[in-house]
Structures are given as C-alpha cells and as structure tokens.
C-alpha cells in the first residue's frame, strides 16, 4: 500500500493501536495502518479474496491439497512449509461457518407431521408415543414416554420448532469444537507408542474436521443430499490414508486404528448430539 492512498487524509500524531508516534501510513511499532476509514462490505470481501484466493492463492491451494492428498497438509505444516497454506484453525472455522450457515438455509429442520411405516402414514409422532405410553405396564417407562409425547407435540408447533432449531444450530458448532480436542486425545491414545506431542494430534484433528465439513457441505447442495452415506465412506477412506501419511506404518494397523477412532468418535458425537438436542428442547419448552 502506497502513501498516495492516504494523501487525502491527514496522518494522526499517534497510532490508534499502540499510541506510538506516527511517521507514515504504517506504525513503526506495531505495523498497523495509521489511517482508517469506515469498513465496507466491499473491503471485507476484497481483503479476504486478496489474502486467501487471489494474491497468494492460499485457500485454493490448501483445499486442493486437503482433498486430493489426505494428510499431506498436516505433513506440510509439520515440515515447516506453512506460509503457502491457510492456518489450521482459520481453515476449520471457515468451513464450519459455511456448513452451519448452509445447514440453516437448507430447510432440513422441519417438524414431522406423521409417522410412516412401509410407506404408509400411521400417526402423528406425539400420538404414536402417547399410544405406546398408554399401553406400557411399567410406570417409569409410561412417564418417560408421556413426557416424550409432550415434547414432540410441543415442538411440532411452528413457532416452538423454529425456536428449537435456532437453539440447536447455535449449540452444535460449540459441541463439535469441544469434541475436536477429544478426537486429538483419542489419536494420542491410539499412537501413544510414537511419543508425539499433543499438538501434532490436534493439528491432524483440525485438518480432519475441516475436510469433514467440506464433505458434508457438498451433501447439503440440492440433488446431492441423498449421498450423505457416500460422504461418510469417503471420510473414512480419507482418515485411513491420512493416518498412514502423517503417522507412518503399515496399512492394516492404520485401518484398525481408523476403525477404533471412527467408531469411538461416532459414539461421542451421538451422545453430544443427544445432549444438545435435550438442552435445546428443554429451553424451548421453558420459553413456551
């Protein structure tokens, strides 16, 4: 950036950031620009595209390597070749944000009106649960089913379901962000004989989750949603190849470790999803 860009604006005497004396368009102490205008949408978009796509091509190069060569992005980072790629945490946050943004717009969160068995409508979910509760002989199970019928009936109302979806979508990113270090800990357990630092496993976990968001982001596109199972299979294959490329070793041990990691992590995700769903439904019922 040249001084001519700041010519129409008077330079301040001190840097707004660190209060050091100003002698030009950049602060000699902290490096921040000394003249600032009100940000616009165009400036935000231009800065992002300039830094990650156009000028250095970081985003394109990073995503290409992440998808086509599983684990190579982690290996590049560990080898010290970092400047040419997007950093792990911003990469994760970018695709996490895009995934949940598109998930909210996809219309996948809609209340169920009826239960279908063999393609035939049977009953409203709340009615089905109430019928089962009435026929159950165990008092505890009857109370639990009655409560579930009440929750389902309440959430089937448009306003309540909209509030529930909002709470759920708000909490899911945080739940996955908490689970990500747990996956790194699982990697540390699976490769404890390698005596690698936890940071290596966390780095691998960040790249794995970024790829997972890309895979499921594609599945949210119209006409591709029915291929979600294929995305799970692709994710598992990516995991096996990435484990071998990052940690080394023979294929069969990596496959066994991948099965352990995938199975355990799927169980943790299911538990986390259940807890987040219960929390969101409880908050929605209290509000209504």
DSSP string, 195-246: ---HHHHHHHHHHHHHHHHHHHHHHTSTTTGGGHHHHHHHHHHHHHHHHHHH
Express each pLDDT in 84-125 by its tens digit.
Answer: 888 899 899 989 988 888 877 765 555 444 445 455 444 455
Task: Confirm whether pTM is higher than 0.75.
Answer: no
Whether residue 207 is contained in a domain is answered as: yes
- Residue 196: how many other CB atoms lie within 10 Å: 16
In terms of pLDDT, which residue wins out, 31 or 283? 31
Given a cut of 70, whether residue 165 has pLDDT beyond it is no
Hunting for tokens 């995991």 — which residue is that?
239
Q: Would you say residue 77 has pLDDT above 90?
A: yes
Dihedrals phi, psi of 58, to nearest 5 degrees: -65, -45
**Do 15 and 32 contact (CB within 8 A), yes or no?**
yes
Most confident of 39-48, 57-66, 248-257, 267-276: 248-257
Q: Does residue 248 form part of some domain? A: yes
- The confidence score (pLDDT) of residue 136 equals 54
Average pLDDT over residues 73-82: 92
Instruction: Give the Cα separation of 106 and 108 in Å (integer).
Output: 5
**What is the sign, positive or negative, of the torsion defined by CA atoms of 37, 42, 45, 46?**
negative
Domain count, the chain: 2
Give residue 7's pLDDT: 44
Is 91 inside a domain boundary?
A: no
**Residue 141 in tokens:** 């199970």
Using DSSP, state whether 123 is helix, strand or coil.
strand
From residue 177, alpha-carbon distances to 15, 67, 75, 180, 262 in Å are 36, 21, 22, 5, 17
**Residue 133 lies inside a defined structural domain of this protein:** no
**Tokens at 249, concatenated:** 């070793």
For the beta carbon of residue 36, count every other beta carbon within 10 angstroms.
12
- In this structure, are residues 228 and 219 in contact, taking their beta carbons and an 8 Å threshold? yes
For residue 216, is it within any domain? Answer: yes
Residue 89 lies in a domain: no
d(CA 202, CA 78): 12
Averaged pLDDT of the chain: 76
**Residue 256 in this model has a pLDDT that exceeds 90:** yes
Which residues contact residue 176 at a Cβ distance below 8 angstroms, ignoring those fewer than 6 apart?
96, 209, 269, 272
Between the two ends of the chain, the Cα-to-Cα distance in Å is 55
Q: Is residue 18 part of a domain?
A: yes
In a domain, 151, yes or no: no
From 34-43, 69-78, 265-274, the region with the lowest mean pLDDT: 34-43
At residue 285, the pLDDT reads 47
Find the range with the poorest average confidence among 98-112, 131-145, 185-199, 221-235.
131-145
The whole-number average pLDDT for the span 4-26 is 70
Model pLDDT, residue 175 = 86
Which range of residues forms the domain containing residue 246? 163-287
* 273 or 245, higher pLDDT: 245
């Amino acid at each position: 950036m040249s001084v001519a860009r700041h010519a129409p604006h008077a330079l301040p005497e001190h840097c707004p950031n660190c209060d050091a004396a100003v002698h030009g368009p950049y602060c000699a102490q902290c490096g921040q620009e000394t003249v600032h205008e009100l940000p616009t949408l165009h400036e935000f978009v231009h800065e992002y595209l300039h830094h990650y796509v156009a000028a250095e091509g970081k985003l394109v190069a990073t995503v290409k390597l992440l998808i086509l060569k599983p684990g190579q992005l982690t290996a590049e980072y560990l080898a010290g070749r970092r400047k040419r790629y997007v950093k792990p945490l911003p990469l994760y946050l970018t695709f996490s944000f895009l995934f949940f943004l598109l998930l909210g717009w996809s219309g996948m969160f809609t209340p169920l009106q009826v239960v279908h068995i063999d393609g035939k409508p049977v009953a409203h979910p709340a009615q089905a649960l109430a019928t089962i509760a009435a026929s159950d002989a165990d008092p505890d199970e009857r109370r639990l089913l009655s409560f579930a019928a009440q929750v389902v009936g309440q959430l089937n109302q448009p306003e309540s379901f909209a509030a529930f979806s909002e709470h759920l979508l708000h909490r899911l990113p945080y739940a996955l962000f908490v689970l990500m270090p747990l996956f790194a800990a699982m990697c540390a357990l699976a490769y404890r004989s390698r005596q690698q630092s936890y940071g290596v496993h966390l780095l691998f976990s960040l790249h794995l989750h970024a790829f997972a968001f890309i895979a499921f982001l594609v599945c949210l596109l119209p006409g591709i949603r029915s291929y979600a199972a294929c995305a799970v299979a692709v994710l598992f294959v990516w995991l096996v190849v990435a484990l071998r490329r990052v940690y080394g070793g023979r294929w069969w041990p990596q496959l066994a470790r991948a099965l352990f990691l995938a199975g355990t992590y799927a169980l943790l995700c299911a538990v986390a999803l259940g807890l987040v769903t219960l929390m969101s439904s409880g908050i929605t019922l209290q509000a209504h």
